[in-house]
Structure 1
Amino acid sequence: MKKQILWPFTLSTLVVALAGCGGESTNVNPEPNQVNSVNGSCLLKDKNCVEFALDYPVDGINFVCSSDPDNTYMTLMEPKTNAATGRCSEGDKIHFLLTGSSDKQVELGTVPLSEIGNVSTVSASLPRLSILDMAKGLNGGTAATSLSPNDKTVKIAMALAKIFQALGLERGAGVAGDVQPFGILASKKADLSLLLASISAEDYASGAYVDKIRPWIDVSQVSNEDAFKVVQTLVLMNNSATYQADFPIFANALSDKTGIGLPQGLYGCNATDCKTSPANLRHLIGSFIILTDRQGYTFGSGVQWRGPLKEQLGSDLATSVTVDLLKNIEPAKMNALAQMSWINPLTKSIQQPFKFNLTDPNSDDFTITQGKLFNDYLIAGTEKFYKQLTKDPNASPSSYGLWQQNYGTDTFKGSFDAFKIFPIGYLDNDVFKSKSNVVAGQKYIFPLYANLIFKAKNSSDSVALGIAIDESGDIRTDMQSASNKTTACTPLLTTGATLTTDNNQVQYRIGTLGATDTSNKAVTFRILLANPIFDKIDGAVIGANTNIVSDVNSEGKQTSTVIGGARVNLGNLLSANVNESAYISLSDFSGAGVKWTNIYKAYLSNYYEKNSIANQAAADFREGEVSIDIADCYKVLAK
């Protein structure tokens, strides 16, 4: 793994980047070009070096960093991050183009790096530079206002998609409308001399690029519908990731090396000043882990502790409140059902309330009211942390992560910091074969129907849950009924916020595929179960590949729960004949079995132990192993 400059976040969110998001790999080999083949003007060890990743996985796009105008670099596929990456210095403007040995070139737009990221982060969470960012640069800096083919910037992005699609099809990279990796060869760039003229920004808006570029590549083979599908796929994919927030840990602590204050976490109270000590002061801390899937829906679960302090408030607010509430207040579970009101993929802001519901009849929803994602990595909840994250000397209250919750006659308000971890990637069609990305006559394996078998530690019980991994790479339930949750290979009758199959059986969005692992013929995945319908396994988490702080003592020592990665091994199924089936299995990224964890029940168990509560039945079935059985009704099909 490449050496990274790590932002000094809380220990709970320094995720384990195992083989780049789960052993994903790429089948693109970079080729030498006549321009500089190094993918950046700086080294990651340099103080102000920022690495970025393109959302479209193209190896060989040329770019110039404004601080180094005499050199041209090109994007390179990074096997461990499964992305095409580049590097420029902080504050640079990045000029993208396709250029070779002739004086003719294809303009691809200029993007201010400050709009993408101001600091290089862990390799699994590099800031994404999107096809819409390039289109914005080609449209005079005007951003898209709606994800519609009628939006001018989206139209320009569609033109770029047509060029990339046509170049990919020429290299045999999938079918039109599907995003697959490919490389632009030096020999292809040498043929840029065939262009009728260089392609300018104005040519995209007028449509003149189609004829000018035709002698080099024919973009007419890609329809407007397929081009928009690509843009839409990339926009939603850029937003799709796990988002995690923690309770306060060391709000006043400083890094010895940087002097940067660590984020305060999810915290608030029922007063305007949480540092005072009125008789009725109640504090609230919490944590959550949510997932945005490939279709733009976000769901997950959280935990909150709400109540007065038993000990006097200390000088370190975070430690005082967190230690006291974790010990003395029973945690309450929060569920976020699938909704599309999380981060707007165009503005990177939360513009509509995102809600977690609680079972307590005295409590309204825990509602996230605002927040903006910066560096494609983090929402900052406080002014101090916002300034350090963005390097903006001015405050921006409308950008901070804020929440609100009414409980009885009390109104609790506060802030939160949320980390975006392990954004998803494209799905390589060497492994992810669906009806929409293979040609006629070829076999495909998705949608895939199976049963997950949950077994708990220190228990002989098991729970089966039917699932379907659909054609887009998202995961939903496939339950026959509320009492029989095993799969019956049932297609959807309705889609949208509510999913239904035969007999109006409601199904639930529960996860998504992270990426493909071509070396192991596998797909990585994450699942978050967040609905009372799941009973014993409500709150179970699989494949999140992160650490959750489960306890903090008065000295600040943390206890963490590790949630590993997970993949579905598909090698046997990919070798099966049409109308046959084959064995599939789960493993973590090292080949061992896959663990599942119920975060809420882990907190509940800690509370019981600290308070010597003997009856811990509610905290049972909180961790164990999970396996997968392919459905008896499933078979490989041909298009």
Structure 2
Amino acid sequence: MMTVFSRNLLPGFALSAICAALVACGSGSNNLTDPVSNTGSSSTCGASNGLCVTGQLVDEPVTGINYECDTVANVTTAEGYFVCPNNSVVTFFLLSSDGKKKVTLGTAVIQPLIIAVPDPKTGKSKAEAQLLQLSPLDLVSGAGELDNLEGTDLATTKVLNILRVLQGVASTEEFQLPAPSKRIVVSSAARDKLNLLDKDFGAGGFSSTTTLDETFTKIGITLPAVADAKNHFLAGQRIMLAGLYEAPGLVFSVQRAIDDVIETGIVGKNGDTIILGTNNKQEDKAIESILLLLDRDGRSIGLGQEWKGITQSSPTDSSIPKNVTEMRSKIAPSELVPVSDGLGFSLNGKVKSGFKFKVINKDTLLDDGFVEIYEGTNRYGFISGHPFIYRSLFGLPETTPVSPDLLGKWRRLDKSGQTASYVGSVNLERRRRFDPLLDPAAWKTLDTVKSGEKAIFPLHFKLTFKDSDVSTSGGCSLTGGCTIGSAGITVLENGNIISDMDNNCSSVDANLVDKVSAQQEYRLGAVSAIFPLSGKYYISPVILFSRIPGWEKFYGIMIGDAGRKTRIDISGIQDGLISMKSFENDKTDSSKLSEAAAEWLNYPLSMASFQTTPVDKTGQFPKSYGIISDISLQSCYSPAIKP
């Protein structure tokens, strides 16, 4: 049995669709200066040594670290990038200024996510490697299993000591910048001091904190305290897992054997199969649709929907939906609401405990239990629910065993949160990731500009939304659609995006309460990237409106998913100018960006447009998407000047 359900309005979750969607998940470049290697380098990576893989070394992005892999020898770039052949082994090390001494940090195997990417010109797919982000956790054997850095085991000790060295050799000026403009740049002074080493310092030396401290104290480098290095790293790691995740209510399923069904999305079965006849069966199943945004603080914003009903193959009763696709299209969903803003993943990518959504009954509007994702590991932005999907995504042979705790699992709990009914698999995909580094040349805050210069952030503006309803009722325009309303938006200094519901440009406290009006503000998303283009700087936001009291009319609106990326021109803000456009290629000239208006999608309404009667579908569809018809700076916005 194979069921495929897709539509150009919504992303599917078939493997090929997953892969195509991720191509656009990257981000822009910057104006930061790349470091120059202090020794001979070679950066050849091509046909002779296999597929080239672009990676990024992070605590914060680490600039100027030497690395070798296969025939490649170079230093990490301004954003911490390196390039190696696939399946090679990369070694990272600090090299002294005279090139005679080195401190080896560790090694890692280059095995990134390999996906099939459709060529826009030919339509044929080709294998491409996605960005591989490595941290000290990847340089130490066994550290990939750590869910925190609290232990006294050897792996934890090594990781913490590598972090101390990286932070200890960092340029003070760069390292003291606040996130998201902070990076680790190996200082020339530190390289000079490495000349004084008696001998090379091998990776095994990180096993002993005492030996490490004695060695670096002797050459005049003071390393940070263990607790300080750990806390700095953990704060930075939140951005590594941040982004927009989705498990859509669309299903791609393949039955390979009686007891082996591959299902994408989040699908589960309740109880035993009921046999209706020799070739008939009826199942009580549930489909969950989840949209989850983790901002730069690792705090979650989310929403979702649940469908429950009967599926049947080879039906004798035409009133029973044949499969989960028909079930989803004929049954009105219940709403899913995150139980907290703490949903997410541990240091090693494992699902955090308490990853739950409350189910709101569609008829009574009362709580009706919980949907809980209780197991699974986030790897490169994916949680896979079946060994076949896991192996396919990560290029593993069919015979490779997949540990059960790597696979995504969910359960439907009752109101008490104790008893499970539906259980099944989870396939969750990161649709957009966030750049860990936003170039301080354009990310202007009071901490990054010089004395007498104006900051841009926090930035306060207003967005006006129009849907695609061109009926003449209710004041809608035949050409412009219906105006939904305007929303005040604040982009904070740390790159997160929150509401400004009373449009007063006031600062907020740690709980997002307006310090002037006491208005509760709400998390909306984050800036995914900042990039230069034709002499201008743009930011690319990702925004999701959850159910916000007083802003119910915006509920479900999503801006900046992989298919509807947007760009905001911030170059003229200090002169009172701001604009927002689509972040897609121009349809007539692919070398240019489109000048079309930025688009939005209402996620729950887009799902509802598939349901009930044709008349209802027609009514829902034009309200499920539209454009941002206007962006303007708030009248209260006044860029601050650094004293």
Q: TM-score, normalised by structure 1?
A: 0.76
1:472 aligns to what SS in structure 2?
coil
User: In the alignment, is residue 355 of structure 1 matched against residue 377 of structure 2?
Assistant: no
Counterpart-to-counterpart distance in 2, 1:83 and 1:273: 53
User: In the alignment, is residue 423 of structure 1 matched against residue 412 of structure 2?
Assistant: no
- Cα pair distance change 1:313/1:15, threshold 3 Å: farther
Question: Pick from 70, 86, 94: which aligns with 1:98?
Answer: 94
The residue type equivalent to 1:599 in the other structure is Y
- Cα pair distance change 1:205/1:186, threshold 3 Å: closer
Deviations 1:548-597 (A, max 9, x none): xxxxxxxxxxxxxxx31112211012xx3xxxx62222122224321011
Question: Pick from 600, 606, 619: which aligns with 2:604?
Answer: 600
User: In the alignment, is residue 367 of structure 1 matched against residue 372 of structure 2?
Assistant: yes
* Corresponding position of 1:537: 554
Deviations 1:580-639 (A, max 9, x none): x6222212222432101112111212324xx23459766663221123222111111133
User: In the alignment, is residue 396 of structure 1 matched against residue 403 of structure 2?
Assistant: yes
Larger deviation, residues 435-444 vs 414-423: 435-444
* Corresponding position of 1:87: 84
* Corresponding position of 1:454: 465
Q: Which residues in structure 2 correspond to 1:265-284 (within 5 Å)?
A: 265-273=265-273, 281-284=283-286
* Corresponding position of 2:43: 38
Shift of residue 132, structure 1, vs aligned partner: 4.0
Deviations 1:361-405 (A, max 9, x none): 36312221111123x232111233334445373342222211122
The residue type equivalent to 1:588 in the other structure is S
Partners of 1:449 and 1:634 within 8 A in 2:
yes
* Corresponding position of 2:586: none
* Corresponding position of 1:588: 582
* Corresponding position of 1:62: 66
**Residue correspondences, number:** 565
Counterpart-to-counterpart distance in 2, 1:110 and 1:380: 27
Unmatched 5+ stretches in structure 1? 1-6, 255-260, 481-486, 546-562
The residue type equivalent to 1:400 in the other structure is L
* Corresponding position of 2:504: 488
The residue type equivalent to 1:107 in the other structure is T
Question: Pick from 194, 200, 208: which aligns with 2:214?
Answer: 208
Counterpart-to-counterpart distance in 1, 2:339 and 2:462: 22
Partners of 1:516 and 1:523 within 8 A in 2:
yes
Counterpart-to-counterpart distance in 2, 1:635 and 1:500: 17
* Corresponding position of 2:6: none
1:402 aligns to what SS in structure 2?
strand
1:602 aligns to what SS in structure 2?
helix
* Corresponding position of 2:636: 633
1:350 aligns to what SS in structure 2?
coil
- Cα pair distance change 1:175/1:407, threshold 3 Å: closer
Shift of residue 238, structure 1, vs aligned partner: 0.7
* Corresponding position of 1:111: 108
Identity of aligned residues (%): 21
Partners of 1:494 and 1:501 within 8 A in 2:
no
* Corresponding position of 2:524: 510
- Cα pair distance change 1:16/1:354, threshold 3 Å: closer
2:520 aligns to what SS in structure 1?
strand
1:635 aligns to what SS in structure 2?
coil
Shift of residue 541, structure 1, vs aligned partner: 0.6
Q: Which residues in structure 2 correspond to 1:159-178 (within 5 Å)?
A: 159-163=164-168, 165-166=170-171, 169=173, 175=177
Deviations 1:46-96 (A, max 9, x none): 37x65432234345432234xx4xx45235549xxx661332443x54321
Partners of 1:33 and 1:186 within 8 A in 2:
no
Counterpart-to-counterpart distance in 2, 1:121 and 1:199: 41
Quick check: which one's strand share is greater? 2
Question: Pick from 416, 433, 445: which aligns with 1:434?
Answer: 445
The residue type equivalent to 2:95 in the other structure is T
Counterpart-to-counterpart distance in 2, 1:148 and 1:431: 37
Counterpart-to-counterpart distance in 2, 1:15 and 1:44: 29
- Cα pair distance change 1:543/1:253, threshold 3 Å: farther
- Cα pair distance change 1:419/1:593, threshold 3 Å: same
Shift of residue 148, structure 1, vs aligned partner: 6.7
* Corresponding position of 2:326: 324
Counterpart-to-counterpart distance in 2, 1:472 and 1:621: 33
Counterpart-to-counterpart distance in 1, 2:250 and 2:623: 27
Shift of residue 536, structure 1, vs aligned partner: 1.9
The residue type equivalent to 1:634 in the other structure is Y
1:445 aligns to what SS in structure 2?
coil
Counterpart-to-counterpart distance in 2, 1:620 and 1:147: 50
1:450 aligns to what SS in structure 2?
strand
User: In the alignment, is residue 474 of structure 1 matched against residue 499 of structure 2?
Assistant: no
Unmatched 5+ stretches in structure 2? 1-12, 118-127, 470-480, 584-592
Counterpart-to-counterpart distance in 1, 2:145 and 2:179: 23
Partners of 1:173 and 1:180 within 8 A in 2:
yes
Deviations 1:128-148 (A, max 9, x none): 1014434x46xx858655357
Partners of 2:276 and 2:282 within 8 A in 1:
no
* Corresponding position of 1:549: none
